[in-house]
Amino acid sequence: MMMYHRILITTTLCVVFATLQVCAWSFASWDFPEIVIKLGGDNSYLDHAKRFLRKHPLTDTHNDWPILLAFLKEGKVNNLDLTNLDEGHTDIARLHAGGVGGQFWSIYYPCELKDDNQMLWVIHSIDTTKRMIAKYPDVFEYVTDTHGFKHAMRHDRIASMLGLEGGQYIYNSAAALRTFYDLGVRYMTLTHNCDTDWAISCCDPNPPPFDPSLGLTEFGQKLVLEMNRLGMMVDISHVAHSTMHAVLNITRAPVLFSHSSSNALCGIERNVPDAVLERLEETDGVVQINFYNQFVECNYPDTPATVNTVADHVEHIAAIAGRHRVGLGADYNGIEVAPEGLEDVSKYPNLFAELLRRGWSEQELQGLAYGNLLRVWKKVEKVGHELAKKELPMEDLFEPINKDV
């Protein structure tokens, strides 16, 4: 590529200056390598990345667009043009520009609020998301299984799935867990930034409800096993490192980190430590990389995060766990600031271009784009089908109803 551009430039200059008889001029004094890089280096990687994503659209496992629509638009999507929006990191035009072919839309309500509106808000967010999908049937397709995922991809629609960001919404109830599954939720993050009664979070400043070294209570373990039986992915982003290990000790299906980064590169509890990455092969799990500046660059804002910073996290996790165990969960609309070069969902090609520059093959990038996640999801479904044949649903324990009331 570089030689081609050198010959092309040289020949063109010779033709242009032929009438002036200056073609014998030595071109050695010209700084051609810099010109060549600009014409055939970074741009060629970006062009390659865009062509690749047109052929293999990516799937991201965490986007908080439903929250933005709820907060800023009060969930009123009926008369809202979602093609181009000034607010946030996402709209239809930018999704297409970024090569997005699948998205888990996050259902979330701040766990710190702990008020009576929590469940209503969650139901409202699920409804808003489904109405958004239905409003644009040529753009989105509502998906609840891997067969539907493939169908959406074949028909050039954005496969749209639901993820529940926090186990606090099930109110310690297996019945509520199953109801969310029936509503279309296909992964549940065990905690957000607050502990639940049965799982320890990464980031709760309050005293833990039980010994944090355990990660999960016995009830929490049973919930994980019930998620396995349902065929619901167990998401262990946001949980404490002890909880990560506790889940890996008992799960019968692959685990998912829906939006996490490397603890070795940015040593916060929110990120995944190498000791956990080394265990991913036990369940054949996957880590979907979070783009949040403060998760990928601990010196931010003194050191700005860039597309290269995120690529470093991709490569580190791949180096420890394998390139077949990494994907994308950017957390767009849930993060305050995105890295330079990854400012919104239209910028994914920049990351793929950087990884191409670093030597990633198209087969490896296809895994990063969606293949690694799809493998995990298929296995979770398979485990669920097998367990459902031989295990009964987990039952809740209720206090007896006072019949005198």
Q: What is the pLDDT of residues 280-322, one digit of tens each?
A: 999 999 999 999 999 999 999 999 999 999 999 999 999 999 9
Q: Are 261 and 309 in contact (CB under 8 A)?
A: no
Q: Active-site residue among 5, 56, 96, 192?
A: 192
Q: What is the distance between the alpha carbons of residues 100 and 349, in angstroms, rounded to a whole number?
A: 10
Q: Active-site residue among 60, 64, 204, 344?
A: 64
User: Percent of the chain at pLDDT above 70?
Assistant: 88
* Distant-in-sequence, close-in-space partners of 176: CB < 8 Å, separation ≥ 6: 169, 170
Q: What is the pLDDT of residues 186-225, one digit of tens each?
A: 999 999 999 999 999 999 999 999 999 999 999 999 999 9
Helix (H) or strand (E) segment spanning residue 140: strand 140-142
Q: What is the distance between the alpha carbons of residues 270 and 284, in angstroms, rounded to a whole number?
A: 21
- By C-alpha distance, which of 329, 368, 357, 324 is closest to 345? 329
Which has more pLDDT, 39 or 343? 343
Residue 385 bears catalytic tag: no
Which has more pLDDT, 99 or 15? 99
Q: What is the pLDDT of residues 336-354, one digit of tens each?
A: 999 999 999 999 999 999 9
Has residue 32 got a pLDDT over 50?
Answer: no
Q: What is the pLDDT of residue 152?
A: 99
Residue 284 bears catalytic tag: no
Model confidence band, residue 72 (pLDDT cutoffs 50, 70, 90): confident
User: Distances in Å between the alpha carbon of 204 and those of 1, 103, 112, 182, 208?
Assistant: 53, 28, 9, 30, 8
Q: Active-site residue among 165, 226, 312, 344?
A: 165
User: Distances in Å between the alpha carbon of 397 and those of 174, 195, 219, 221?
Assistant: 10, 21, 11, 16
Residue 64 bears catalytic tag: yes
Q: Active-site residue among 297, 312, 315, 331?
A: 331
DSSP 155: T
Helix 372-390 to helix 146-154 angle (10° resolution) is: 140
Q: What is the distance between the alpha carbons of residues 50 and 57, in angstroms, rounded to a whole number?
A: 10
Return the SS3 of 162: strand
Work out the angle at residue 165's Cα, subtended by the Cα atoms of residues 58 and 72, and round it to the nearest 5 degrees.
Answer: 85
Has residue 277 got a pLDDT over 80?
Answer: yes
Residue 124 bears catalytic tag: no
Residue 331 bears catalytic tag: yes
Which has more pLDDT, 260 or 404? 260
Least confident of 4-8, 40-44, 81-85, 226-230: 4-8
Domains of the chain from N-terminus onward: 58-390 (3.20.20.140)
